[in-house]
Amino acid sequence: MILVIDVGNTRIKWAWLTSSGLSNPQSIVHRGAKPKMWRAALFDTGQKPERVLISNIAGDAIGKTLHRLTKRHYGIKTQFVRAERRHQDLTNGYQDPDLLGADRWLAMIGAWTIAHAPLCVVDAGTAVTVDCVDAGGQHLGGLIAPGIHMMREALLTKTSDIAKAVELSQPSMAGALANNTIGAVSRGAVFALASMADRVVDTIIDTTGTRPRVFITGGDAGMISAVMRNRGEQVPDLVLQGLAAIAAQSR
């Protein structure tokens, strides 16, 4: 039994890989939370893995904590997975493969394992990333933008009139256009990110002549997917599936 862990900027997700496949993912917020809360959820389960694979984009501090807790609870070392030049027939498109975020690389591995066809991965979390892969498994590159909540926070903290109007607004997300400030800010962020993802997909279609399969993951996947023209498949555990693919390869 193998424990796979995806540490994002806000949440920790994890699942167990057994001979029957990957279990349903679980998650907990770690950003701003008391460490004992997520430590108990992750380690006080009564289960003991033979290996632990981790994707971590939340910094060295939490990485060191997970390494220490894994050794204490399970008596084994953690394997921190990073982007590489190649995974089987999937090729990293970055000039320096090490500089590609582990979460982006693993989400592509997860999607490629499912599709083995041209694809785009939209990961909608604290930041929103879009990465595309062609029919031969070549990563074509990607984009990164602030996520919905980060965009909203920027407007509320870097302006005065908008922040003041939000205090007087009644939250509403109905319809494409909002009739209050907080709704306008929220919908503006959602539409901006959905439009970015749509533009990338359209560009891939125009340049390759092939419509890619679109995978959408991350905590805000539902909001962005709902307004995209290019409909995609919501797969909440793409990074975990990528970790599982690497774990299965190295058994």
The one-letter amino acid at 2: I
Other beta carbons less than 10 A from residue 124's beta carbon: 26
Q: How many CA atoms lie within 13 A of 197 on its CB side?
A: 34
Distance CA 189, CA 10 (A): 18
Backbone angles phi, psi at 56, to 5 degrees: -130, 120
Distance CA 48, CA 44 (A): 10
Torsion of CA 27, 29, 34, 36, to 10 degrees: 10
DSSP secondary structure string, 101-166? -HHHHHHHHHHHHHH-SSEEEEEESSEEEEEEE-TTSBEEEEEEEE-HHHHHHHHHHH-SHHHHHH
Distance CA 65, CA 63 (A): 5
Tell me which of 103, 123, 134, 220 is the catalytic residue: 103
Residues paired with residue 146 on neighbouring β-strands, in sequence order: 127
Whether residue 103 lies in the annotated active site: yes
Per the CB < 8 A criterion, the answer to whether 207 and 240 are in contact is no
Helix and strand tally (H, E) in the chain?
8, 13
Residues identified as active-site: 103
